[in-house]
Amino acid sequence: MTAMLPARPAPGSGPQPVTPRPAAECRITHVRYVGLGVTDLDSGLGYYRDLWGLTPETVDGDLAFLAADGSTDPYALRLRHTEENRIDLVSFAVRCTADVDWYTEKLVAAGVQLVGEPGRLDAPGGGYGVRFLDPVEGRTLEIAADWRPRTARTVKEGEHVPTGLSHMVMNSARLPELSAFFSDVLGFFQSDYLEDVMVFMKGDTPAHHQFAISTNTYANLNHIAYETRGIDEYMRAAGNMVRSGQEMVWGPGRHGPGSNTFAYFEDPNGFVAEYTTALEDIEDIDAWQPRVWQRVPVQSDQWGTACVRNPKPFIGVPDPGLWTPPPV
């Protein structure tokens, strides 16, 4: 795995084109769900159910599975009661069980530690998948297929609830090595860069990115982003949070990389959640020109409408879940 990022652009310049980084074949379509370990399950469940707009599909003791009404994925967020806040796992979707087996062979060949052999998943919606530890910092990751889809509903005009999970961003103390693993072994295409501090990762769908990796002192979660029906619904969702007394830690605005809107909030357990919409599509990856964006207001927020960013929730604290897979 070759660990290398583009050089920073000259100050004052616009987004600078760079040579695309070759990537292996990618069969991952999207982030299925993110699992979080939380010290206050009741508050977390209430926040995402009553304020954020997710629907509890299953609540069973120390586990809660919450879905986005507009999505056929069984759930978008899993909350588990734990003694310390942590990332439990990130689950990626592929199209069929053969793709799970194909990735398992690639992981084994690369010397990646599997948490268990591929098999049926014991969770709402079932499925077939494999869990493994990223070899750079030890996150628990999952690749899955063949789950029972939930019945999605049409989210109405003006309705401020998530229609699905858009993307997530993980923080890394070893950004070059981690981004190389995701490209060289899992096949993600590096679609854009924010200087040399963030890499945007595109999978096997048109979306500009399914997730991104940001440099940080700690390896932990940066944020989870939820899609809304459109610009109006995105603004209504953000406004509903503000009217409910929730402080926006950054937004509302529109990013340069990906051109998606953003409004970030901190949940009761200290994790950051984002409302977003209008993420850019890449229809022809062979013709796509990755760019290096600068960390300047005009490129971080094209509209110029966002409040001053509170960096603390995005930085977070050391994650005790590294190299320690969740029991379920």
Average pLDDT over residues 60-70: 97
Q: Say if residue 152's pLDDT is above 80.
A: yes
**What's the pLDDT score for residue 14?**
81
Residue 81 lies in a domain: yes
Average pLDDT, the chain: 96
Q: 140 and 198: one domain?
A: no
Tens-place pLDDT, residues 116-129: 999 999 999 999 99
CB 240 within 8 A of CB 299: no
Q: Say if residue 102's pLDDT is above 90.
A: yes
Split into its structural domains, the chain has a count of 2
Q: Say if residue 4's pLDDT is above 80.
A: no
Q: 307 and 201: one domain?
A: yes
Given 114, 145, 176, the domain boundary residue is: 145
Q: 196 and 61: one domain?
A: no
CB 68 within 8 A of CB 163: yes
Q: 97 and 196: one domain?
A: no
Q: Say if residue 6's pLDDT is above 90.
A: no
Cα–chain center distance at 54: 16
Residue 326 lies in a domain: no
Q: 72 and 191: one domain?
A: no
Q: 188 and 131: one domain?
A: no
CB 75 within 8 A of CB 55: no
Residue 251 lies in a domain: yes
Residue 203 lies in a domain: yes
Cα–chain center distance at 76: 10
Q: Say if residue 176's pLDDT is above 90.
A: yes
**What's the pLDDT score for residue 148?**
98
Q: 141 and 159: one domain?
A: no
Q: Say if residue 292's pLDDT is above 80.
A: yes
Q: Using the Cα atoms of residue 246, residue 321, residue 100 and residue 212 in order, give the sign of their dihedral.
A: positive
Given 115, 145, 175, the domain boundary residue is: 145
Residue ranges making up the domain that contains 127: 28-145
Lowest mean pLDDT among 15-24, 59-68, 87-96, 153-162: 15-24
Q: Say if residue 3's pLDDT is above 90.
A: no
Confidence tier at 22 by pLDDT (50, 70, 90): confident
Average pLDDT over residues 253-262: 98
Q: 138 and 160: one domain?
A: no
**What's the pLDDT score for residue 207?**
98
Q: Say if residue 7's pLDDT is above 80.
A: no
Q: Say if residue 51's pLDDT is above 70.
A: yes
Residue 11 lies in a domain: no
- What percent of the chain is modeled with pLDDT above 90? 94
Q: 108 and 215: one domain?
A: no
Q: 211 and 122: one domain?
A: no
Q: 160 and 304: one domain?
A: yes
**What's the pLDDT score for residue 2?**
59
> Any idea what the Cα angle at residue 156 is, between residues 154 and 157, rounded to 5°?
140
**What's the pLDDT score for residue 91?**
98
Give the burial string for 266-305 (b: 16+ CB within 10 Å, else e). Answer: bbbbebbbbbbbebeebeeeeeeebbbbbeeeebbbeeee
Average pLDDT over residues 196-201: 97
Residue 131 lies in a domain: yes
Write the CATH number for 111.
3.10.180.10
Q: Tokens standing for 167? A: 């993307």
Q: 163 and 271: one domain?
A: yes
Given 93, 110, 145, the domain boundary residue is: 145
Q: Say if residue 255's pLDDT is above 80.
A: yes
Confidence tier at 103 by pLDDT (50, 70, 90): very high
